[in-house]
């Protein structure tokens, strides 16, 4: 017997990532799009979502209040909207995938509380390549040791709201843990003026915003007489959208808890 389609609600449906995820949902018979959400006052609110996507009508209007009977919610909205969505999903026992970045401490705490009652997958980047890099980097940093300086340079399109990117911060966190560095004390976000010699245990993070760059992250590890550069470059948003749907499949079947994209990849779902 054919398995029922996974019913997906999508928050941030009219944004770049929302549209990309919706395109994959509509092309895959394993999924069904049951809700498309945007912020109150959004110009597309009330329109048929198919028209927003330049397709035939879908019979799903862009809403501003969640309420559909969904198997899982995928959120790529805005930092300001996530906290309310977390509360809504927890109250309705709907598993949640959060790809929105730039979250404040209060929102992160609300996610942790929600994970006591629902499955929540959070990831600043849902591509397989970045998550493989997050696993591999600590070994490289530990092998090279403290004689090597650590810098991260990320580049995104001119419309990205937060800097540095959530992915750059995640890379910095795993590098700092591997090197035994307190990131809160030793991180420097860009440099300007007469900065003096570089402190040995500093980690530099630098953000570029230009054009329509989907996403690039370069890790520079430089030591005496040599340097290593590791670069991840996303060629399209489809890699992130595909990862989000993989996370949605996982969350819909997982027990309550807070999960990462690494957990999703390990599960093989």
Active site residues: 156, 160
Q: How far is the C-alpha of 141 from the C-alpha of 119, rounded, in Å? A: 32
Radius of gyration of the chain (CA): 20
Q: Which residues touch 104 (CB under 8 Å, ≥6 apart)?
A: 79
Does residue 116 contact residue 185 with C-beta atoms inside 8 Å?
A: no
For residues 156 and 198, the answer to whether their CB atoms sit within 8 Å is: no
Q: d(Cα 208, Cα 206) in Å, to the nearest integer?
A: 7
Residues 61 and 10: beta-carbon distance below 8 Å = no
User: Rounded distance, CA 72 to CA 95, Å?
Assistant: 5
């Amino acid at each position: 017997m054919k398995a029922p389609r996974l019913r997906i609600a999508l928050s941030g449906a009219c944004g770049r990532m929302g549209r990309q995820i919706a395109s994959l949902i509509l092309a895959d018979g394993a999924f069904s799009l049951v809700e498309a959400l945007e912020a109150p006052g959004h110009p597309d609110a009330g329109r048929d979502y198919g028209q927003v996507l330049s397709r035939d009508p879908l019979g799903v209007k862009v809403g501003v209040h969640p309420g559909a009977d969904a198997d899982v919610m995928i959120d790529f909205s805005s930092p300001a909207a996530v906290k309310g969505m977390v509360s809504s999903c927890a109250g309705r026992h709907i598993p949640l995938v959060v790809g929105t970045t730039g979250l404040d401490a209060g929102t992160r705490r609300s996610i942790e509380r929600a994970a006591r009652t629902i499955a929540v997958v959070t990831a600043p980047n849902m591509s397989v390549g970045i998550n493989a890099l997050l696993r591999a980097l600590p070994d490289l940093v530990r092998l090279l040791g403290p004689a090597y300086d650590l810098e991260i340079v990320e580049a995104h399109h001119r419309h990205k709201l937060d800097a540095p990117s959530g992915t750059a911060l995640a890379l910095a966190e795993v590098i700092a843990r591997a090197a035994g560095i307190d990131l809160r004390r030793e991180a420097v976000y860009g440099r300007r003026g007469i900065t003096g010699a570089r402190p040995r245990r500093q980690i530099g993070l630098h953000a570029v915003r230009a054009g329509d760059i989907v996403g690039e992250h370069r890790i520079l590890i430089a030591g005496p007489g040599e340097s290593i550069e590791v670069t991840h470059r996303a060629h399209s948003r489809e890699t992130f959208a595909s990862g989000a749907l993989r996370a949605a499949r996982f969350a819909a079947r997982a027990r309550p808890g807070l999960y990462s994209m690494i957990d999703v990849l390990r599960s093989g779902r």
